[in-house]
Chains A and B, each alone.
Chain A
Amino acid sequence: MATTDKYDRQLRLWGAGGQRKLMNSHILLVNADAVGTETLKNLVLPGVGKFTILDDKTLSPQDASVNFFLPAKKIGNFRAIVARDVLCEMNPDVEGFSLISNIEAEVEKGMFPEFGPRKKSLHHCEWFNH
């Protein structure tokens, strides 16, 4: 019995409660590589509430050759933004954010002395939400 609710089939799997939990979730993905974007796709399609991609790398030819979500024509752009755009296209109900940041570099700069409270200056952290 077909219904017009696009989430109908998965509701039969995890119920209204499960769907509500999914829709109220905000997922963080660190590293927009192939396995990461595929995983996020599996959350975006059923209607996760929000996601954020944390990645400061730009799209390389190697990335584009293994990842459907990072098209070759976008080589040179930030991976986090490209992946965010493509994923959001797959489900307009989902809100996506990108965070251009490099945690490792933050560690080296001493921003996380003992992984305690960090004093983050704004210019290290640029983010986009179109």
Chain B
Amino acid sequence: MVQSLSFLLFCIDSSFIEKFAVVIVTNPSLANMHLISSLCWDACVPLVVVKSYGFLGECRLQLREHDMMETKPDPEYLYLRMNAPFASLQQFCDSIDFSKQTPEEFAHTPFIAILRHEAAVWAAQHEGKPPQSRAEMKEFKAHLKTVGTPDEFYEDGTKKQSYLRDNYKEAQLNAGHFFESVKCPLSLVELFATDRLMRIDDTTSSTSKIDDFKVLLIALREYIEGPGEGIHWPLSGVVPDMTATSDMFMALQHLYKQKADEDRSAFKNILTSVLLRLKRASDSIPDEAIVTFCRNILNLRYLSSECSIRDRHQTPKADFARSFLNEETYWDDPTQVPY
């Protein structure tokens, strides 16, 4: 009964729409849609407008501000700092002696160590430079294939049909990532360039539900500029499955997790100072959120509609729409496609 009374009060209060996580409208009349669009825009509530007519359908989102931490890409790209190793990773790779490996060890060396070793070999033969072109990358990968397919012989000395070892195959697949320049990823650059994300005014309206996300982003930017030296962000600490001995794999997992914990700790210190600066309690963002944030730095996204559906209907982008009717520009010259 108490619940029912409070819900009744929702109806009287014009901000009843704020209670909802999402509003779904199906096949509304235009007036209905405009009204709900405005209500949801003002209350900063995500709106989904669905229209269906037999087998045709349309689904439209209105998101005033929507932050995402766990976008769960599949497959997920796990950044490993292969070419900018931290101390423990460097030590791990240096400890492997490639000149004295048994066939078993050879086939179970983690691809990270293989790449570090082979990249050094390449650099020594190319004036200290990494592969400079697609042709050179192809050469590098071909070299990995040669090294990774060791000669094998039968007892009578005849040559066996050999095969590329799995770990060297993994090295080939990750070679491109290895040589990527170490810099702030595009997704973060875009987020940092979004003015309304990176600023928190004292007069922030109560409809902003993503304050935590904004604060975390501000702290992240400070981390990258500070301890990250402009190019590093807190490591996620996750290591992909790979062909390796159990001991080696567990050792790698351990050192990555250790580094991630250290990074997150440094990040947390920065976050605390940002919170205090914004006059918020230093523990107002729960640990769980910080862990999720640091684990998903490459997966962070922010969506924001330009305006409400109602506003878009009242000030349509007529030229943009009209340009699609111009067959010449749309079909013949791809550079003219206006998106």
Contacts and interface: CB of A to CB of B under 8 A. Distances in A.
Interface string A27-45: 1111101111001100000
B23 A30 contact: yes
Contacts of A127: 4, 7-8, 11
A103 B20 contact: no
Interface stretch (A2-10, A68-76, A86-94, A109-117): A109-117
B20 A28 contact: yes
Nearest to B37: A115
Interface string B62-78: 00000000101000000
B121 interface: no
B203 interface: no
A25 B27 contact: no
Contacts of A18: 70
A115 B38 contact: yes
Interface in A96-129: 97, 99, 101, 103-104, 107, 112, 115-118, 120, 122, 125, 127, 129
Interface residues of A, number: 36
B12 A120 contact: yes
B32 A30 contact: yes
Contacts of B20: 26-28, 52
Contacts of B23: 27-28, 30
A31 B31 contact: no
Interface string B142-159: 000000000000000000
Contacts of B288: 17
Contacts of B22: 25, 27-28
A104 B11 contact: no
Nearest to A121: B12
Contacts of A61: none
Given A35-B50, A127-B7, A30 B14 contact: no
A8 B179 CA distance: 40
A16 B70 CA distance: 12
Nearest to A125: B11
Count class of interface residues, chain B: 20 to 34
B19 interface: yes
A127 B12 CA distance: 12
A104 B32 contact: yes
Nearest to B310: A115
A97 B6 CA distance: 12
Nearest to A29: B24
Contact of A112 (B17, B21, B27, B35): B35
A125 B35 CA distance: 17
Contacts of B39: 115
B46 to A, nearest CB: 10
Nearest to B51: A35
A17 B70 contact: yes
A112 B42 CA distance: 14
Contacts of A129: 3-4, 7
B269 interface: no
B50 A39 contact: yes
Given A39-B24, A40-B24, A125-B11, A28 B17 contact: yes
Given A28-B17, A127-B11, A103 B32 contact: yes
B26 interface: yes
30 contacts: A15-B70, A17-B70, A17-B292, A18-B70, A21-B21, A24-B21, A27-B21, A27-B22, A27-B24, A31-B25, A31-B27, A33-B26, A34-B52, A35-B26, A35-B57, A36-B24, A39-B26, A39-B50, A52-B20, A97-B7, A104-B31, A107-B35, A115-B38, A115-B42, A117-B14, A120-B12, A122-B12, A127-B11, A129-B3, A129-B4
Q: Which 9 A/B pairs are nearest by Cβ-Cβ distance?
A: A25-B21, A36-B26, A117-B14, A115-B38, A28-B20, A30-B25, A125-B11, A35-B52, A28-B23
Given A27-B22, A28-B20, 12 more contacts: A24-B21, A28-B23, A30-B28, A30-B32, A31-B26, A33-B26, A33-B27, A36-B24, A36-B50, A104-B31, A104-B35, A125-B8
